Amino acid sequence: MDINFLRIAATLASFAAFIGIVGWAWSRRRAQDFEAAGRLPLEQD
Protein backbone atom coordinates (compact mmCIF):
# COMPACT_ATOMS: atom_id res chain seq x y z
CA MET A 1 0.00 0.00 0.00
CA ASP A 2 1.55 3.25 -1.08
CA ILE A 3 0.82 6.88 -0.29
CA ASN A 4 -1.26 7.43 -3.43
CA PHE A 5 -3.77 4.77 -2.34
CA LEU A 6 -4.13 6.52 1.02
CA ARG A 7 -4.65 9.86 -0.70
CA ILE A 8 -7.33 8.40 -2.97
CA ALA A 9 -9.07 6.74 -0.01
CA ALA A 10 -9.01 9.99 1.98
CA THR A 11 -10.39 11.94 -0.98
CA LEU A 12 -13.21 9.45 -1.53
CA ALA A 13 -14.07 9.39 2.18
CA SER A 14 -14.16 13.20 2.28
CA PHE A 15 -16.36 13.33 -0.80
CA ALA A 16 -18.75 10.76 0.67
CA ALA A 17 -18.95 12.78 3.90
CA PHE A 18 -19.64 15.94 1.89
CA ILE A 19 -22.44 14.27 -0.07
CA GLY A 20 -23.88 12.93 3.20
CA ILE A 21 -23.91 16.39 4.79
CA VAL A 22 -25.52 17.94 1.71
CA GLY A 23 -28.17 15.22 1.69
CA TRP A 24 -28.85 15.76 5.39
CA ALA A 25 -29.12 19.53 5.00
CA TRP A 26 -31.53 19.31 2.04
CA SER A 27 -33.73 16.57 3.49
CA ARG A 28 -37.40 17.39 3.97
CA ARG A 29 -37.29 16.37 7.62
CA ARG A 30 -34.80 19.16 8.37
CA ALA A 31 -36.46 21.89 6.26
CA GLN A 32 -38.81 23.04 9.04
CA ASP A 33 -35.97 23.30 11.57
CA PHE A 34 -33.78 25.31 9.18
CA GLU A 35 -36.69 27.56 8.27
CA ALA A 36 -37.27 28.34 11.95
CA ALA A 37 -33.55 28.96 12.50
CA GLY A 38 -33.51 31.33 9.52
CA ARG A 39 -36.30 33.42 11.04
CA LEU A 40 -34.63 33.76 14.46
CA PRO A 41 -32.65 36.96 13.68
CA LEU A 42 -35.80 38.69 12.42
CA GLU A 43 -38.05 37.91 15.39
CA GLN A 44 -38.58 40.42 18.18
CA ASP A 45 -38.20 39.49 21.82
Note the pLDDT tens digit of each residue in 13-23.
Answer: 999 999 999 99
Q: Which residues contact 30 (CB under 8 A, 6 or more apart)?
A: 24
Residue boundaries of the structural domains of the chain: 3-42
- The pTM for the full model equals 0.67
Residue 1: pLDDT over 90: no
Q: Measuring CA to CA, how many Å separate 24 from each of 4, 5, 7, 32, 36?
A: 30, 28, 26, 13, 16
| Angle 2-11-8 from CA coordinates, rounded to 5° | 25
Average pLDDT over residues 12-35: 93
pLDDT of residue 31: 86
Confidence label for 2 from pLDDT (cuts 50, 70 and 90): very high
Which comes out higher in pLDDT, residue 5 or 27?
5
Residue 28: pLDDT over 80: yes
